[in-house]
Structure 1
Amino acid sequence: MNKIIVTVLLFTLSACGWHLRGSAGGNDKLAMTTPMDLVIETKDNHSPVINALRQSLGTYKINEVTESASGFTLTLDREILDKRTAGVGSDALTSAYELILRVDYRISHAGTIITPLDTSARVSRTYNYNVNNANGAAQEEELVLREMRRELAQTILRRVKNLSTKPAPAAAQ
């Protein structure tokens, strides 16, 4: 009887479209298309955003190459992190911080830039800060930053994959 209940619950859960955040579920049509090649250009080859981007390439069936036959190039300019107070407790000490992470990038095809010159991906998160547990708060901040970088990488790769499926990219203005 328990097996039947578990089976029914699993089918119900999968039927509602639920999937793990960050995973390419069945509804992500961009992840299911044919593989493409992409040249990634950046000043810092080992930045955390680049590492998150490279980890997500397989999900979107994108291969990093030095020269691309398809002609698509992703250029990452800079990563900007802004940290500001989001909440103050009754003791007049900071109780929450807001992190805003932005990455400027360009996508080009055969040497022509196809995204606007000021294109950026932006993510913001708020986390609670406990003065009495500064070490735990620092670890939480690192965890939040890692998740933000992963989300930025996936946003950029979805944009690249979306632009690669369009017939003839037009030049940005």
Structure 2
Amino acid sequence: MIKRNLLVMGLAVLLSACGFQLRGTGTNELSIKEIDLGARNEYGPTVMQLRRTLQSSGVKVYSGAPYKLVLTNEQETQRAATYSGGNRSAEYELTTVLNYTIEGQNDSMLLEDKLQVQKYYVYNGNNVNGSGQEANQVREEMRRDLVQGMMARLQQLTPERLDELQRKANERAEAEARALKEAQRIQDETPQQSPMEIPAP
């Protein structure tokens, strides 16, 4: 009995680590039911994984949806955290920053933000292949963390919140249009100075 319970618990932990969620738990439940998704690299691993995660959460991802999530930039940096010259090993810190925007009607920007994840891995000069595999595994974990972080951000965006952001964006656009119109009116009403005529010698 105890062994069976331990087996069930172990499977549950394993499945949750893979991103699996039991249907109906609401862990990945989003208020947004349809969204467009874009990125600078349309076929990059992060956007492809995010698309699959959204679709598996019941979100319809298609061009022309009322709102669009755009992954504007994904940048990775690496730096040595510790170094040991004796055995040619070093601990590296990997950081990935993902910038994104949410667009609404008429491509108006509703939200601009970023996600950041950090992880460490050990590079062993005596085992270059193993160190490379570990680095790639860490990058995969970071990508999963970015996708889960993005899903958590999207969970906070209720239709009411999106409507409020759209209203503010419309107000900004109207204010900018009025300011532009007023500037044009002032320019049109300002008498233009005639070019000075220089008498011929």
TM-score normalised per structure 2? 0.68
Matching residue of 1:78: 73
1:124 equivalenced with 2:118 (yes/no): yes
Provide Cα deviations, 1:48-68, integer angstroms capped at 9, x if missing partner: 211221232234322210111
Cα pair 1:38 1:62 within 8 Å, conserved: yes
Aligned-partner Cα distance in 2 for 1:27–1:103: 29
Instruction: For residue 80 of structure 1, report the CA deviation from its aligned partner.
Output: 0.5
Matching residue of 2:135: 141
1:37 equivalenced with 2:30 (yes/no): no
| Residues 27 and 133 of structure 1: CA distance in aligned 2, closer, same or farther (over 3 Å) | farther
Quick one: which amino acid aligns to residue 75 of structure 1?
V
Q: Identify the structure with bigger relative contact order (alpha carbons < 8 Å, sequence gap 6+).
A: 1
Quick one: which amino acid aligns to residue 62 of structure 1?
V
Aligned-partner Cα distance in 2 for 1:109–1:30: 26
Quick one: which amino acid aligns to residue 116 of structure 2?
R
Provide Cα deviations, 1:68-91, integer angstroms capped at 9, x if missing partner: 1xx121011111100000111152
1:162 equivalenced with 2:156 (yes/no): yes
Tell me the number of residue pairs that the alignment of Structure 1 and Structure 2 aligns.
Answer: 162
Cα pair 1:30 1:158 within 8 Å, conserved: no
1:20 equivalenced with 2:16 (yes/no): yes
**Higher normalized helix content (fraction of residues):** 2
Quick one: which amino acid aligns to residue 102 of structure 2?
I
Cα pair 1:106 1:113 within 8 Å, conserved: yes
The worse-fitting range, judged by mean Cα deviation, of 27-36 and 86-95 is 27-36
Instruction: For residue 93 of structure 1, report the CA deviation from its aligned partner.
Output: 4.3
Matching residue of 1:113: 109
Provide Cα deviations, 1:18-62, integer angstroms capped at 9, x if missing partner: 562233357952524577111012221111211221232234322
1:89 equivalenced with 2:84 (yes/no): yes
Q: Aligned to 1:151, what secondary structure does the other structure show?
A: helix
Aligned-partner Cα distance in 2 for 1:103–1:53: 12
Gap runs ≥5 in structure 1: none
Instruction: For residue 10 of structure 1, report the CA deviation from its aligned partner.
Output: 5.6
Gap runs ≥5 in structure 2: 170-201
Matching residue of 1:64: 61
1:102 corresponds, among 85, 94, 97, to: 97
Quick one: which amino acid aligns to residue 84 of structure 2?
G
Cα pair 1:30 1:162 within 8 Å, conserved: no
Cα pair 2:88 2:124 within 8 Å, conserved: no
| Residues 121 and 35 of structure 1: CA distance in aligned 2, closer, same or farther (over 3 Å) | closer
Q: Aligned to 1:129, what secondary structure does the other structure show?
A: strand
TM-score normalised per structure 1? 0.77
Quick one: which amino acid aligns to residue 104 of structure 2?
H
Q: Please say which structure displays the higher CA radius of gyration.
A: 2
Aligned-partner Cα distance in 1 for 2:67–2:2: 49
Provide Cα deviations, 1:88-108, integer angstroms capped at 9, x if missing partner: 115284511010001100123
Quick one: which amino acid aligns to residue 23 of structure 1?
F
Cα pair 1:30 1:161 within 8 Å, conserved: no
Instruction: For residue 150 of structure 1, report the CA deviation from its aligned partner.
Output: 1.7
